[in-house]
Amino acid sequence: PLARSPTVKRILARLIYGWIALVYRTNRLVAGSDDLSQLGLDGQNMIATTWHGRHFMFACLNRHRVPLTIMVSRSADAELNAMVLKFGGIATVRGSGGRPGARSAGKGGAGALIRMKRLLDAGQWVGMVANVIKGPAREAGMGVITLARISGRPILPVAYQTSRRKVLEKAWDKSVINLPFGRAAAVTGEPVFVAADATQDEMEAARQQLTGELNRIHARAEALLEARA
């Protein structure tokens, strides 16, 4: 089919990245926002994360070409996401990191987490969505928590919201299509640390902390936009 053609996929990816870049350039950051373009310029590397469905603007995080790699699912649909990120100068690791263990092993989950750890060990930034695909929309999974434990690097929650947007209400994650020519709010949360010897209870506590922090900063981003309406 035409939609599976590599050439067609490249064209679509280029168009999608062009749209995301347009949104990024034409939405003015409101006062109180964090400048996401500065991430990584201080030499400190972390694990950037946000909710699935709010992750599309990650394609513009790498404005200064700081080495950044994002985990992308091995699914056929996610191949287009990987191509979009490439146009933004962002490398990808293919695999599912939401459910560490036997269930994700067949999806490259364990190997993907190991590759991400090696990148963090080398001083690079990495990114991945916090929640499990087709799982609870606003609840962090254990994948990103596991990566923080084995790498020793903190998780940085990130929220980016625009005043003009379309919410796909029927999607499991209520995906947001950001629109150009409006205002934007960007908020980073408190880093979440997970000790190398963390117990299951401590990892669960970190998961709940990350869930709360992501929900807090997305609410904060929305409040910043409403305050400037």
Spatial separation of the C-alpha atoms in residues 113 and 125, rounded to whole Å: 13
- CATH number of residue 159's parent domain: 3.40.1130
pLDDT of 167 strictly over 80: yes
Spatial separation of the C-alpha atoms in residues 165 and 10, rounded to whole Å: 25
**What's the pLDDT tens digit per position in 16-44?**
999 999 999 999 999 999 988 777 777 78
**What's the pLDDT tens digit per position in 100-156?**
554 444 456 789 999 999 999 999 999 999 998 888 889 999 999 999 999 999 999
pLDDT the model gives residue 100: 52
**Quick count: other Cβ atoms within 10 Å of Cβ 179?**
16
Using a pLDDT cut of 90, give the percent of the chain over it. Answer: 73
Number of domains the chain contains: 1
Give pTM, 2 decimals.
0.90
SS3 82: helix
- Domain containing 47 equals 2-227
Q: Residue 151 corresponds to which amino acid?
A: S
Q: C-alpha angle with apex 150: 172 to 133, nearest 5 degrees?
A: 10
SS3 77: helix
